[in-house]
Amino acid sequence: MNTHKVRFVPLGGIVGVTKNMYLYELYENDRLKDILIIDCGFGFPQERELGVDLVIPDISYLQDKKDKIRGIVLTHGHEDHIGALPYLYESLGRPPIQGSKLTSVFVENKFKENNVRITVNKVDFEKEYSYGGFRVQFVKVTHSIPDTTHVIIKSPVGTFYHGPDFKFDLTPPYGSPPDFYRITKAGHEGIIALMSDALGSEREGLTLSESIVGKTFEDEMRKTKGKFIMTTFSSNISRIRQCVEAAIKFNRKIVFLGRSMKQSTKLAAEIGYLPIPDSLFAAEEDLIRLPPNKVCLIVAGSQGQYGSALSKLADKQNTFTKIKKGDKIVFSSDPIPGNENEVYSVIEDLVNEGADVVYSDIADQLHSSGHGSQEDLKFLIRFTNPKYFIPIGGTIRHQKQYQRLVEELGGDTNRVFALKEGETVWFTRDKAYPGEEVETKNIYVDAYGVGDIGNVVLRDRKTLSSEGMVFAFLVIDSRGLLVTRPKIISRGFVYEKEEEQLYGRAVKIVEMAIKPRTGTLLDLNKIKRSVIRNLEEFFLKEKGRKPLVVVETVQI
């Protein structure tokens, strides 16, 4: 009797577009045997998450199961699928990692930056790999980065098709077209569940081929009298290579701006994915002497990230070059959902500097999405013919639209599991049903560490940004009495001329809040809490604002 079950557990990426991380768990007689991890990426912080650099998956659930993790399989080299590995790898027990050629190079370099050396096992597309009770085959597909794969996962309960970010590009500029034979063969042999990219489920038709963008670069570069500047994701090597080829055709020097852009293009060049003649490659400092009409800049920061190479250009912070009239800036990427405000803010700044800025809202064919539209998604459904469906990599609205696509094809929408992060699905040979929810939360990364930023810290940062801060300094004796008059200062709270009168009254509030203690130990924390509470109430009443109040006490 087959007593096996498989549980699908999304730790990220299921409704947040980024931060992709998925678990396949194999159970026998209700005992966990093996865990296979697919991808381990980071996400971008929301605007309200002040001071946060990255968001990574919460792997708390796995901490007592590390001995069951058989491997990490990577589908492609975008940051939202590989970027969290350096932060989480040790905590996952250092399992073997496997990925395609470009993906492997990117991951190994990420660890090298942290002075850690690892080896990512390179994929042989003709082989099948074992991870405990799972057997895995990789499938070549097309996306906006070379060497993208899907994963066929065979298990004792059936075969799963893990199909994240893809489009069916029949004329990719580089590399092979999708391996339709292997996809349809898997479908004929039987697929129990399809985990499919859903981000393009609202767009009609087929997604344009990546090759269309190369001609657009040539057309725009031909009309540009000043510097030609293209911005996209630093891992989008196909897009970068097409811009490089246009620059070579027009004899423009090629300059990469941004740390991530310089690193990814250097790695791609080293493995032959980005050939550039030495005569046309230039360093950033060469921009001072180069004629603008002989320059092609390829710049990181297409999502409007603060501190990126593009934002520094927009803010006149680049030492070697400035935006001037006649320059053209092409945004060859669409904003990730949630990043629209940042992107449009940078566009405004660039236009204000006199540049001709071209982006997808005003021009077609500047960017071909890496994600399949409705017809791409329908083809994958037809080719794999699964029993069940789980849309991944989109938002809730994309999941709903994906359900409609399944219905249009005559499928049963009750067999579509629209999950949220941490919600799980059990699979047996005969059925699929919702499982227990795994508790997850966002793990924040900033310049000081991983996971040290909680809701309290974010709340304080938000208060500082909108309400300001008041600092109260108290000197007290052993009885809890004030020795000197309290000192109160503020930043970002009230206009300087208002301070003296307001803080004179605030001092009296502090004096009233502090009472001498007898017969008990002096509790400094209790004194602080009392002063903070009274000052917060006072400032709210007087100014209608509630600044962050910090109290420091010294006992003499």
Cα–Cα dist 75/20, whole Å: 10
Segment 24-67, tens digit of pLDDT: 999 999 999 999 999 999 987 654 444 456 888 999 999 999 99
User: Mean pLDDT in the chain?
Assistant: 88
Pairing of strands 328-331, 356-358: parallel
pLDDT at 452 (0 to 100): 47
pLDDT at 314 over 80: yes
pLDDT tier at 131, thresholds 50, 70, 90: very high
pLDDT at 500 over 80: no
pLDDT at 466 (0 to 100): 52
Q: What angle do CA 373, 375, 379 make, to 5 degrees?
A: 120
pLDDT tier at 364, thresholds 50, 70, 90: low
Residue 46 contacts residue 22 (beta carbons within 8 Å):
no
Residue 554 has what DSSP assignment?
Answer: E
Segment 450-481, tens digit of pLDDT: 554 445 444 444 545 556 778 788 888 777 77
Segment 287-300, tens digit of pLDDT: 999 999 999 999 99
Helices and strands of the chain, counted as H and E runs: 14, 25
pLDDT at 524 (0 to 100): 73
pLDDT at 449 over 60: no
- Residue with structure tokens 């026998």? 28
pTM over 0.95: no
Cα–Cα dist 227/131, whole Å: 51
Q: Tell me the CB-side half-sphere exposure of residue 355, using CA atoms within 13 A.
A: 27
What is the average pLDDT across 245-272?
Answer: 95
What is the average pLDDT across 342-370?
Answer: 81
Residue-range domains of the chain with CATH: 4-205+369-450 (3.60.15.10), 211-358 (3.40.50.10710), 468-555 (3.10.20.580)
Residue 304 contacts residue 313 (beta carbons within 8 Å):
no
pLDDT at 521 over 80: no
Segment 140-151, tens digit of pLDDT: 999 989 999 999
pLDDT at 338 (0 to 100): 67
Query: Can you read off the two tokens belonging to residue 410?
Result: 């005559």
